[in-house]
Amino acid sequence: MNATILVIEDEDETREIFLRCLTFENFNAIGAKEGAKGIELAKVHRPDLIVCDIMMPEMDGYGVLKAVRRDAHLQTSPFIFLTAKVTMEDLRQGMALGADDYLAKPCTIEQFLSAIATRLQRKQEIQRSLQSATPQHTTATTPFSIFPDCPKLAPVFQFIDSHYQQPIHLSDVAQAAGYTPSYLTNLSQNHTGRTVKKWITERRMAQARQLLKDTARSIKQISEDIGYTDAGYFTRQFRKLHGVPPKSWRRNPTD
């Protein structure tokens, strides 16, 4: 089945050029002149990719992106911004909301099609990564069963479980799971109500509790065992989560 591409662009001539070239390349091309209509079409057609201008009357591209990322059926649709002016502030704002790419106007048809092809290929890689996730990548294999049962996040939790003792960041987890950082951020928040960083902390604290109960290792040693080089930082994180410092918890464990 040919991919469906939604183009949201208030300039009639630009929009029609993009739609014609997409149709010529055998895409299922859909166009909208303004943001609200674009969101409506996105919910109906669930496009494989969305191209959207930033500066539009009534609703700008950022408003469209926010609405799209709130829809569970559209969270995996790559989103490319079109803009005549790109500043670092624009880039940061768009990426923070979950944009996947930017195209500066005017752009050539070759640049337009190349950006679409790249993002569609990336989406396919993510889908293949999910499909190849084996049954052992489930919460049943995690020692403390702290992770929820969520197939889309199974490779994420598996990576955290295997690497929490090392310094790991959002980008590391996203790359291992085959996601973009922005997509993973939205996925984790929408499905669990927690960030990836929070899950890394939760996994480390689960191990800390186990070590505090079952061993006589010092707080500094436990801190290093679970991936914290600074014992003071570990103590603050533990107290923030449990209400008491590790030493006090060890004397009277609550779980």
Q: What is the CATH number of the domain that holds 110?
A: 3.40.50.2300
Examine the domain organization and report whether 95 and 164 are in the same domain.
no
- At 61 the three-state DSSP class reads helix
Residue 25 structure tokens: 């390349």
pLDDT by residue for the chain (255 residues), tens digit each?
A: 689 999 999 999 999 999 999 999 999 999 999 999 999 999 999 999 999 999 998 899 999 998 988 887 887 788 999 988 767 777 777 777 778 888 888 889 999 999 999 888 877 776 665 555 444 433 334 344 688 888 778 888 888 988 888 888 888 888 777 777 887 888 888 888 899 999 999 999 999 999 999 999 999 999 999 999 899 999 999 999 899 999 999 988 875
Task: Write down which residue in 130, 150, 172 finishes a domain.
Answer: 130
Examine the domain organization and report whether 249 and 192 are in the same domain.
yes
- Domain with 218 in it: 133-255
Euclidean distance between CA atoms 156 and 2, whole angstroms? 30
Examine the domain organization and report whether 76 and 153 are in the same domain.
no
Q: At a CB cut-off of 8 Å and minimum separation 6, what does 51 contact?
A: 5, 6, 7, 8, 9, 18, 80, 82, 103, 112, 116
